[in-house]
């Protein structure tokens, strides 16, 4: 089975190689981490004699969610080294800027046996914690062969993932039986893990760790002064994806046609750095004054500008800026990609708008809607720009409604805090059980 899987993985890699090469020429996105993905890690990743916790967070969302868990483990397991890996470039950037309690960072190896063995032999983990749902057959198999316990933390299994995994039958069961402990977000996720082959005595429910994430902070480069100046209404478009920027911009321009909102400002934060340039070109076309975050620096001597639009072409700062928003639109939800995390703006009591596609956060979205803590626009047969404009105007023109939305969102977050202690307890108990074997 593993030989067939490895051959299939190799074939897919070969077929996708022209794409990777093309993208690397454009952005060096894949060349920058190719060595580490092949298991060749820098010398500072080698074991320093302390037992090592290896925590893997695929991308931005998982990296941010891991912060409170890593902070808790740092306090509890003081004699351990903490290594954090990611798969994506954006995840790596956010991890390095936001996870201050970790000792080292690296990219997760491709799931070939040789690259996994090289990474494991360098890091020598005492335990591996996989955030949410990143399961790789060779990695899990080789951890088992080396008696390295593997735990899934903050686990979730979406409708799509469950359907696909169910079709693989025996392969999925072998994969799930190789995990030592599942700490899932909900009972529904736990039931799915059991249905896919996880032993019942290894499956637990801890709640959603993302409720425990505290807002970050931005760099003091004048950006906060700009956003707070003159109390201009501010629309924050967070983590936008291709196909959403045009909609957001159209709605923003329509909002400014209202006399009382003519000075409304937009801060737009594309999800992926490789899109910064194309989004900038789109914004320039409006004729409005534009400021790129990268234009600001700590040694600035000229007066801080007062732009109509701010392009946040940086990583790791968005969380600290939500508190300035009059309204926050969370991206990934106007296009069918499953949506992005709404909890960070909710934690600072901001009114939030999302599109119809929030499948990745279905339970959170449902809970927020029941609490009247969120506005979700309808995507069925409706122009998304018109729907988004109406939602933004309703919030910006009604201070009481905006305040109620924000307070309800903050209360929803507070009501669900607590997963971090449950997860940290499971990490400790799993380490203890492995030590006592």
- pLDDT tens track for 357-399: 998 888 899 999 999 999 999 876 678 999 999 999 999 999 9
Domain boundaries, the chain: 26-207+418-435, 223-296+304-415
CATH number for the region 223-296+304-415 comes to 3.40.50.2000
Give the least confident one: 155-159, 256-260, 344-348: 155-159
Per-residue confidence (pLDDT) for residue 220, from 0 to 100: 62
Residue-wise pLDDT for 298-314, tens only, equals 555 566 688 999 999 98
CA dist list (Å): 132 to 20, 125, 151, 319, 423: 26, 19, 10, 21, 12
φ, ψ of residue 293 in degrees (nearest 5):
-55, -35
Architecture of domain 26-207+418-435: 3-Layer(aba) Sandwich (3.40)
Going 350 to 353 to 359 to 362, the CA torsion angle's sign is positive
Reported as a single tens digit per residue, the pLDDT across 244-280 is 999 999 999 999 999 999 999 999 999 988 899 999 9
What's the Cα-to-Cα distance from 29 to each of 16, 22, 105, 310, rounded to whole Å?
14, 10, 17, 25
Q: What is the pLDDT of residues 37-94, one digit of tens each?
A: 999 999 999 988 899 999 999 988 899 999 999 999 999 999 999 999 999 888 998 9
Q: What is the pLDDT of residues 178-190, one digit of tens each?
A: 999 999 999 999 9
Confidence of residue 295 (pLDDT cuts 50, 70, 90): confident
26-207+418-435 with 223-296+304-415: one CATH topology? yes
The answer to which of 25-29, 194-198, 420-424 has the lowest mean pLDDT is 25-29
pLDDT over 90 at 22, yes or no? no
What is the average pLDDT value for the chain, to the nearest integer? 90
pLDDT of residue 141 exceeding 60, the answer is yes
pLDDT of residue 25: 55
CA-angle at 144, arms to 39 and 101, nearest 5°: 60
Pairwise CA distance, residues 131 & 56, whole Å: 6
pTM metric for this prediction? 0.81
* pLDDT of res. 207: 93
Assess whether pLDDT exceeds 70 at residue 20. Answer: no
pLDDT at 347 over 80: yes
> Active-site positions?
62
Q: CA 125 to CA 83: how far, in whole Å?
A: 9
Residue 214 binned pLDDT confidence (cut-offs 50, 70, 90):
confident
Task: Specify the pLDDT at position 109.
Answer: 95
CA distance 54 to 119: 11
pLDDT over 80 at 101, yes or no = yes
What percent of the chain has pLDDT above 70?
A: 91
């Amino acid at each position: 089975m593993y030989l067939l899987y490895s051959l299939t993985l190799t074939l897919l890699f070969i077929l996708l190689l022209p794409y990777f090469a093309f993208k690397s020429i454009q952005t060096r996105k894949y060349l920058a981490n190719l060595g580490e993905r092949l298991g060749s890690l820098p010398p500072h990743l080698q074991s320093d004699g302390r037992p090592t916790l290896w925590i893997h967070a695929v991308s931005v969302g998982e990296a941010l969610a891991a912060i409170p868990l890593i902070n808790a483990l740092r306090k509890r397991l003081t004699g351990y080294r903490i290594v954090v890996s990611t798969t994506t470039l954006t995840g790596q950037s956010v991890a390095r800027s936001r996870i201050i309690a970790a000792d080292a960072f690296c990219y997760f190896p491709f799931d070939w046996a040789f690259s996994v063995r090289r990474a494991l032999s360098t890091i020598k983990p005492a335990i591996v914690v996989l955030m949410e749902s990143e399961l790789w057959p060779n990695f899990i198999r080789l951890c088992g062969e080396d008696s390295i316990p593997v735990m899934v933390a903050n686990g979730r299994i979406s409708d799509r993932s469950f359907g696909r995994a169910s079709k693989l039958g025996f392969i999925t069961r072998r994969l799930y039986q190789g995990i030592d402990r599942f700490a899932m977000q909900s009972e529904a996720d736990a039931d799915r893990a059991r249905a896919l082959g996880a032993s019942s005595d290894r499956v637990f429910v801890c709640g959603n760790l993302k409720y425990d994430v505290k807002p970050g902070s931005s760099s003091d480069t004048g950006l906060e002064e700009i956003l707070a100046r003159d109390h201009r209404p501010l629309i924050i478009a967070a983590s936008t994806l291709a196909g959403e920027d045009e909609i957001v911009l159209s709605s923003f321009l329509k909002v400014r046609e209202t006399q009382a909102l003519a000075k409304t400002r937009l801060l737009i934060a594309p999800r992926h750095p490789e899109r910064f340039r194309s989004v900038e070109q789109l914004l320039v076309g409006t004729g409005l004054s534009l400021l790129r975050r990268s234009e600001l620096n700590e040694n600035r001597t000229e007066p801080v500008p007062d732009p109509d639009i701010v392009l946040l072409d940086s990583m790791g700062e968005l969380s600290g800026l939500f508190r300035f928003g009059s309204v926050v639109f969370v991206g990934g939800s106007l296009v069918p990609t499953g949506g992005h995390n709404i909890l960070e703006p909710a934690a600072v009591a901001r009114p939030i708008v999302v599109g119809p596609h929030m499948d990745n956060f279905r339970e959170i979205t449902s809970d927020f809607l029941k609490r009247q803590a969120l506005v979700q626009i309808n995507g069925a047969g409706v122009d998304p720009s018109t729907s988004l404009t109406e939602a933004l105007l309703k919030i910006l023109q009604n201070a009481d409604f905006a305040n109620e939305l924000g307070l309800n969102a903050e209360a929803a977050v507070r009501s669900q805090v607590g997963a971090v202690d449950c997860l940290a307890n499971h990490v400790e108990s799993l380490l203890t059980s492995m030590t006592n074997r």
